[in-house]
């Protein structure tokens, strides 16, 4: 029972009041601390997943990958600062290793790249399945510093190591019916666990017109920054087409097929209104959801103007002389 407020204050009652208020204070302070901590932690976890914590740069290439010898440098070198190795290897779009930018670097350990074979077939005189190290051994590797422009309006400058796709194709004697090249990524849910999620139809397929494939700029990369490609960058073999948006560069390639018909490429199949087969970098043709006029170079804060054909117009503009670039974006 509560004593009336105007009851005489005996020492005993005062003490009990203090006691109660102290308990009450502690109770409320506890509730405050618990609620603010739980609420704050919940918000941090819910809002900060995915891209928040960049993984550490990858360890050196796994055992069994022979060291790469650079035979030539300086043929195609962009006169712009190269993006850091850490950024190139921790900010990746490689859905086969997870859809966030940082997950490929974290999951790349599952991608074992030896043994590895590449099947080259379709409209070729000599179809063959080749061991990856045999294939790499055919070429003197070149270092080429290319701009890489992602369709998401960010870009990097990457020192690739590789050889021209055209040189590879010539060895297999393309027939006169070969009009297109189709490259296919490894289809393996264990090595590329992201393929367990049906975010895209697997395997990832990309393709080029034959004249694009034979252009000396088109590179098959096996390394970057002078060392073997890390898994998240598409080890052991990937396509690099510097005047096109990055998604054209198929990664972890197991098959190269020459065809008469235009290949059904993954992003074009999934969202044909957003991702064209050609996907040439073009500041004048916007993506339906964002402008392609500017890009953010990774490592810089202000945006740069995007260049037609990503700055490679003098090498490739000729290929599209008679093409309506708005229709065939």
Site for another protein, rule CB under 8 A: 1-2, 16, 19-20, 23-24, 28-29, 31-33, 35-44, 46-48, 50-54, 83, 86-87, 90-91, 95, 99, 101-102, 152, 154, 197, 199-200, 270, 286, 288-291, 293-294, 296, 298-299, 301-303
Which residue(s) pair with 259 in the sheet?
180
User: Whose Cβ is closer to another protein: residue 154's or residue 312's?
Assistant: 154
| Minimum CB–partner distance for residue 83 and another protein (Å) | 8
32/328 with CB nearer another protein? 32
Q: How far is the CB of 144 from another protein (least distance, A)?
A: 21
In whole angstroms, the minimum distance from the beta carbon of 189 to another protein comes to 17
> What is the smallest separation between the CB atom of 16 and another protein, expressed in angstroms?
7
Separation of alpha carbons 318 and 211, rounded Å = 11
C-beta closer to another protein: residue 101 or 149: 101
Q: CB nearer to another protein: give 77 or 298.
A: 298
- Considering beta carbons, is residue 273 or 322 the nearer one to another protein? 273
The CB-of-310 to another protein minimum distance in angstroms stands at 18
- The string of DSSP letters for 149-204 reads E-TTSEEEEEEEEEEEHHHHHHTT-B-TT--EEEEEE---TTTSGGGGSTTSPSSP
> Which distant-in-sequence residues (6+ apart) come within 8 Å of 76 by Cβ?
144, 145, 146, 217
CB 99 within 8 A of CB 49: no
User: Alpha helices of the chain — where are they, by DSSP H?
Assistant: 11-47, 85-90, 103-107, 132-137, 165-170, 210-214, 266-270, 313-316
Buried b (16+ CB within 10 A) or exposed e, 198-213: eebebbbbbbbbbebb
| Vertex 83 angle, CA 79 and 88, to 5° | 140
Q: To the nearest whole angstrom, how small is the minimum distance from the Cβ of residue 80 to another protein?
A: 16
* Nearer residue to another protein within complex by CB, 13 or 70: 13
Question: How far apart (Å, rounded) are the C-alpha atoms in residues 164 and 168?
Answer: 7
Nearer to another protein, 205 or 217 (CB): 205
Number of separate helices (H) and strands (E) present in the chain:
8, 13
Closer to another protein by Cβ: residue 261 or 274: 274
Beta pairing, strands 227-228 & 219-224: antiparallel
Residues whose CB falls within 8 Å of the CB of residue 117, separated by 6 or more in sequence, listed in order:
129, 130, 131, 132, 254
The partner residues of 217 in beta bridges, in order of sequence, read: none
CB closer to another protein out of 272 and 299: 299
Query: For residue 270, what are the contacts with CB-CB under 8 A and spacing of at least 6?
Result: 200, 201
Provide, rounded to whole angstroms, the least separation between the CB of residue 154 and another protein. Answer: 6
Beta bridge partners of 280: 244
Q: Quick one: CA dihedral 37, 41, 47, 51, positive or negative? A: positive
């Amino acid at each position: 029972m509560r004593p009336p407020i105007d009851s005489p204050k005996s020492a005993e009652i005062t003490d009990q009041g203090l006691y109660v208020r102290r308990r009450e204070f502690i109770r409320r302070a506890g509730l405050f601390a618990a609620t603010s901590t739980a609420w704050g932690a919940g918000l941090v976890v819910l809002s900060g997943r995915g891209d928040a914590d960049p993984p550490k740069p990858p360890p050196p290439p796994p055992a069994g990958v022979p060291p790469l010898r650079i035979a030539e440098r300086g043929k195609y070198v962009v006169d712009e600062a190269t993006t850091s190795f850490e950024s190139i290897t921790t900010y990746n779009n490689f859905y086969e290793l997870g859809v966030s930018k940082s997950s490929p670097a974290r999951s790349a350990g599952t991608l074992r790249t030896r043994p590895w074979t590449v099947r080259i077939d379709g409209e070729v005189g000599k179809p063959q399945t080749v061991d990856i190290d045999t294939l790499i051994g055919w070429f003197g590797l070149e270092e080429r510093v290319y701009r890489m422009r992602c369709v998401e309006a960010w870009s990097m400058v990457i020192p690739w190591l590789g050889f021209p796709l055209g040189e590879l194709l010539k060895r297999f004697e393309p027939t006169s019916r070969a009009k297109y090249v189709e490259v296919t990524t490894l289809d393996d849910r264990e090595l590329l666990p992201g393929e367990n999620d049906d975010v895209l139809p697997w395997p990832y397929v990309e393709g080029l017109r034959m004249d694009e494939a034979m252009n000396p700029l088109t590179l098959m990369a096996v390394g970057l920054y002078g060392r073997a490609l890390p898994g998240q960058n598409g080890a052991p073999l990937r396509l690099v087409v510097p005047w096109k948006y990055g998604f054209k560069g198929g990664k972890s390639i197991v098959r190269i097929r020459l065809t008469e018909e235009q290949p059904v490429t993954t992003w074009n199949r999934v969202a044909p209104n957003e991702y064209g087969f050609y996907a040439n970098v073009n500041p004048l043709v916007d993506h339906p959801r964002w402008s392609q006029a500017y890009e953010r170079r990774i490592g810089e804060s202000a945006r740069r103007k995007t260049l037609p054909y990503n700055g490679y117009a003098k090498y490739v503009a000729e290929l599209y002389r008679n093409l309506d670039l708005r229709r065939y974006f």
